[in-house]
Chain A
C-alpha cells in the first residue's frame, strides 16, 4: 500500500468512514474458531505478507489522512488525551526515532528522514509537514516529541516505564480508545490499569502477559489482536465523551445493524525502546461494518457464532449487551449453520 489514495471521510457526526474492497480484504479478522475467550495470544511482530496490515512495523492505510485529522479534533476538545510524566522524556525521543525511522524506511514515497548527526529533517508528504530539529533537544520541535509523532501515526500509543517489578503507564497519546481514560489511568501499574478487565484475573492472564513483556528484547517486537464492537465508525469512544456516543448504542435494530454495528479490532504491538528501556505499547484500531464484513460469508458466519455464546461478563465489559440481540438477528441471516474450517482468512 505504498501509493495510497487517501479517503476523505469522517469518524463523527455524519460518519462517512467506509472501507474499500482492498481494505476489507486485509481486515484483521480475529476469530480463528467459533468460540472466543481471552488468551495470551502474543506472537512475534515480524514483517508479514506484502499488502497485509503487518507488512510493516506501523501500518499506514487509506484512512491515514482522515484519521490524523480526527486525532486533532479530539485533542482540541480534550487536552488530557496526551500526557507524559516528566521522567519519560528519553522514552519520548525513543518513540520519535522508532516511528520516524520505520515510516521513512517502509514508505519512502510518503515520508523522508534525513540526518546530519543530531540535525534531523522530517518530511511527511500526506500531512504536508516538514520540520528540522536537533534530536534530543525538545525546544527545537513545535511539540513534545511524543505528541509530535503521535499525531502523525495512526493508532494510540502508551509508553510503559519498567520498575519495581512491573510496568507503569507513564505517558500516552490516546484518541481512539475503546472506553478507557488516559487522564485517569496515567501513572498506574500494569495490574491497576487492567483492573476492570473481567475474567482475566482468575485465568492468570495478566500475570503471564506482564512476565512476558518485562523480558521483551530490543529488536524483537511482539503483537496481538484484541477486539470489541462500536456503534457507528467512531474512533473516539472514550469515557470522557461517553455522553456523545452512548445514546447511539440504543439505536441499533435488526434492520440497521449491518450499517451501524462495527467490529473494532485492535492490532496491539509492543516494542522495547533502546535509551529509556521503556516499552512502546501501540494500539491500532481497525473498524469494519457488519455489511462490509459480510462481503466474506465465512466472516459473518463466524462472528455470529462467536457473539452468540460470548461470556456474559465480556458482553457487559465490551458494552455489547444493549444491542446484542439486534446484532445477532442481523448476523443470523448470514449463517446457514454449515461448518467452517479453522482460520481467520477471508475467502
Chain B
C-alpha cells in the first residue's frame, strides 16, 4: 500500500465512538446556522467556535507557518478554539487541484496532532462524486440510518442557506436607501436569530417569503440614486465579515448598494446538485462565457469568476468593482494582473484590495472612500450627459 492510499484512509478517521462525538467545523460567515441544523437533525452534538476575532487570528498566526494564506490561519484558530471547548471531531471539505486549499486539512491535521490534541478529522472532497462523499462523511460522523432524518437535515440546511442569502441580498439593497439608519441591520439580525431557531422543515420553507415581506416594511427612499458596486474576489474573504473588515456594512453606510455574486447557497446548490437536476446556467459557466476575451482557460481558485464577473458587471450597468483577496493568494494575483486591462477596455472602475493580518482599518477605509467618490462622480457625469 503506498502513501496515497494510506492518506485516503486517514480522510475519515475513526477512533472515537459515534455516540461520544462532538462535532466542530471552521467558521465562514454564517455557515454555522445551516450546518448546525443539519447535524443536529442527524442526532449529533455540535460545538460552534467563537466568531473570528483578533484573538482567534493571533492563535492561528502563532501556530501556522509564515508563508501560508490568511484563511488557513483563521481555520486553524477555529479548530483550536473548538477543541478547547470540548469538540473531538473536526469536519472540513477540501478541493484538490485548485490552490493551497487542497493542503489545508492535511496541514491542520499534522499541526494539531503535534500540539497534543486528540480528535478525529473527517474530510470530504468537493470535486469528484461530491454528493456521495458528502453523504458518506455525514454518515461517518453520525451513523444515522434514518432516511427521514437525512431528508429533514438537508432540507433544513438548504432552506436556511437560501433564507440567509435572501436576507443578505435584501440587506444590501435596503441599507443605502433606508430612512432610519440601522433599520435594515436590525431586521437582518432578527431574521438570522429566527432562522437559527427554526427547526421544522415546514417553517424553514416559509422563511424566505417571510423575510422578503418583512424587509418590504422598512421605509426606504425609492428615488435615491444609489451607485451599485460589485464585490468580487476570493471565496473565504468575501464571505467572512471579520476578514474583510465588514466591507459590506461600510459601503452600505456610505450610500452604496453592494452586490455579491458569490453566495454560499447558490454555490452549494451548484456543487452538490447532480447535473441532471441543475438546469440554469451556473455562476462559473456564466463567468467562463464572459471572460472568454481575456482568459482562455480556468487556472484554479476563483480567478475566472473574478474576471467574468467584472465583464458581466460592466455590460450590465454596474458602476464599480471592488476586488478583495488575501495576501499571496495565487489565483487572485493572476486576476489582479488581468483586471487593469478589463477595466480599461470595458470602461469600469476597479480597485484591488489585498488583506492580511496586518491590514489597518483606517487606511483601508480611506481607500474605499476615495474610490466611492470616484464612482459617484462618474455616475453623476453619466446622468448629466
Partners in one complex: no
Q: Which residues of A contact B (CB under 8 A)?
A: none
Q: Which residues of B contact A (CB under 8 A)?
A: none
